[in-house]
């Protein structure tokens, strides 16, 4: 190893300076020279690594090397060589100042640990950013795993720094901290809960980035844009951002709409309430009038013939309309809506499709349409829903039915 300890000191003594002055000037001169060399080496190394990595990035097809540069990995690595030079020559610079030498050596060791952590973080951030460009990992909570690893890395680094500063061995220091584990667990409770939740969310595939979730407790209703160790960020439909604790995903109830998005249909489940007083049996004149409605014309002809045949075979007295089998305007309307929905171009015919009569209420009898639109996009879904019920509301009067409307002057 090159010995520069007293090079300047000997020169100054020859020039007639006192020993005390020569010692201090020797230390200051060597320190300035060492700092200058470290800065020059750092600059040269940084420029070289930047140009080299940029050249390699241009030649390769993968984006990973570009991401490494963006996350400053070459720049952080460039600091290693000047740091090694400082560690190597600091003992010679401060050879006559033992206390200062001890403090600076510890400081350099601490900087080495911090630099190592910075390099690890840059590398892991690069891996995270690269994986997010791949379709297979876009919806995975990669941020959580990187954060967990970095938490452990920073804890080890922090304990190592304390061990260096206090002069206690790392193993003994870690053993002492084990006794305070209860306090540590209390301090990092949210982090531990978030870590466990992240693992469960990932293993059980409960939430992915890009999923539409509804979490009423936190006022969230929109797409998941980020999942990390502590929080899940949801961009609501009004473009606001709601932050949800990650552990809330396993401790509370929320709705994930992914199943609907993957199913190929979005549910339509809406009803209109028909006034009970407008429901009647149909006579022959009514049937002839309703046969003009094309969607149910054939159905009415066939059904009317079947009913007449049945009533004739059983000698039913039809002078009173209630006797025997009959059609009602309510039942014919239900059949009309069923046929209308089955023929609607925006309805998914491979999923459940029905028009049903619900339990009577004090307002009337609800007639519900239960089906699935083939287009799941919100705007298009609302248009389809509106188009269907515009038709439903306008068609009610053609069946001599009325929709219930609350009115202070309505006594029906």
Span 148-193, pLDDT tens digits: 778 778 878 877 887 788 777 767 666 666 655 666 666 666 667 7
* Residue 397, pLDDT score: 93
Give the pair of three-digit tokens for residue 249.
Answer: 């995903």
End residue of a domain, out of 262, 297, 323: 262
pLDDT tens-place string over residues 46-103: 888 888 887 777 777 777 777 888 888 888 888 888 888 888 888 777 776 777 778 8
pLDDT tens-place string over residues 4-43: 555 655 566 666 666 666 666 767 777 788 888 888 988 8
* Residue 330, pLDDT score: 95
Q: For the chain, state the CA radius of gyration.
A: 40
Is 1 a residue whose pLDDT tops 50?
Answer: no
* Residue 100, pLDDT score: 79
411 within a domain of the structure (yes/no): no
Residue 204 or residue 333, greater confidence:
333
175 within a domain of the structure (yes/no): no
Residue 372 or residue 137, greater confidence:
372
d(CA 40, CA 37): 5
Mean pLDDT of 302-328: 90
Q: Are both 286 and 251 inside the same structural domain?
A: no
407 within a domain of the structure (yes/no): no
Q: Are both 16 and 141 inside the same structural domain?
A: yes
- C-beta neighbour count of 364 within 10 angstroms: 20
Pairing of strands 365-373, 266-274: antiparallel
Count of structural domains within the chain? 3
* Residue 93, pLDDT score: 73
Mean pLDDT of 375-395: 91
Q: Are both 154 and 10 inside the same structural domain?
A: yes
Is 248 a residue whose pLDDT tops 90?
Answer: no
End residue of a domain, out of 218, 236, 262: 262
Let me know: does 358 contact 273? Beta carbons within 8 Å: no
State the average pLDDT for the chain. Answer: 82
The residues near 361 (Cβ < 8 Å, ≥ 6 apart) are 273
End residue of a domain, out of 245, 262, 279: 262
Q: Are both 311 and 347 inside the same structural domain?
A: yes
145 within a domain of the structure (yes/no): yes
* Residue 269, pLDDT score: 92
* Residue 151, pLDDT score: 76
105 within a domain of the structure (yes/no): yes
Q: Are both 145 and 253 inside the same structural domain?
A: no
Is 270 a residue whose pLDDT tops 60?
Answer: yes
Give the pair of three-digit tokens for residue 317.
Answer: 């007295």
Range of the domain at 235: 180-262
Residue 13 or residue 297, greater confidence:
297
Q: Are both 196 and 342 inside the same structural domain?
A: no
Mean pLDDT of 133-141: 72
* Residue 211, pLDDT score: 86
Q: Are both 205 and 119 inside the same structural domain?
A: no
Q: Are both 161 and 190 inside the same structural domain?
A: no
Mean pLDDT of 137-141: 69
d(CA 28, CA 21): 11
173 within a domain of the structure (yes/no): no
CATH number (domain holding residue 214)? 2.30.30.60
């Amino acid at each position: 190893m090159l010995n520069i300890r007293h090079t300047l000191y000997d020169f100054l003594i020859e020039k007639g300076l006192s020993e005390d002055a020569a010692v201090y000037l020797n230390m200051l001169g060597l320190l300035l020279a060492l700092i200058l060399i470290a800065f020059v080496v750092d600059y040269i190394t940084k420029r070289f690594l930047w140009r080299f990595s940029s050249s390699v990035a241009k030649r390769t097809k993968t984006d990973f090397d570009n991401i490494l540069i963006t996350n400053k990995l070459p720049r952080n690595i460039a600091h290693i060589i000047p740091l090694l030079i400082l560690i190597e020559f600091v003992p010679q610079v401060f050879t006559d100042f033992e206390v200062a030498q001890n403090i600076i050596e510890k400081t350099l060791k601490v900087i080495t640990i911090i630099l190592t952590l910075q390099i690890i973080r840059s590398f892991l951030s690069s891996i995270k950013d690269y994986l997010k460009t791949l379709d297979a990992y876009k919806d995975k909570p990669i941020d959580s795993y990187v954060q967990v690893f970095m938490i452990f890395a920073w804890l080890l680094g922090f304990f190592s720094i304390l061990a260096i500063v206090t002069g206690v061995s790392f193993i003994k220091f870690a053993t002492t901290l084990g006794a305070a584990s209860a306090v540590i667990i209390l301090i990092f409770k949210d982090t531990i809960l978030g870590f466990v939740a992240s693992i469960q969310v990932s293993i059980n595939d409960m939430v992915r980035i890009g999923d539409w979730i509804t979490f009423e407790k936190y006022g969230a209703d929109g797409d998941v844009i980020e999942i990390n160790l502590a929080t899940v960020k949801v961009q609501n439909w009004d473009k606001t951002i709601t932050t949800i604790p990650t552990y809330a995903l396993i401790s509370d109830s929320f709705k994930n709409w992914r199943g609907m998005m993957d199913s190929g249909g979005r549910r339509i489940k809406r009803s209109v309430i028909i006034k009970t007083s407008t429901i009647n049996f149909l006579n022959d004149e009514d049937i002839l009038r309703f046969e003009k409605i094309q969607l149910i014309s054939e159905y009415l002809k066939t059904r009317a013939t079947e009913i007449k045949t049945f009533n004739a075979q059983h000698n039913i007295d039809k002078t009173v309309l209630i006797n025997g089998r009959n059609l009602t305007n309510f039942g014919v309307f239900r059949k009309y809506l069923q046929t209308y929905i089955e023929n609607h171009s925006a309805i998914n015919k491979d999923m459940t499709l029905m028009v049903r009569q619900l339990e009577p209420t004090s307002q009337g009898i609800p007639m519900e349409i239960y089906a699935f639109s083939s287009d799941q996009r919100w705007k298009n879904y609302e248009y389809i829903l509106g188009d269907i019920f515009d038709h439903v509301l306008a068609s009610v009067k053609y069946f001599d039915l009325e929709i219930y409307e609350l009115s202070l002057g309505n006594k029906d």
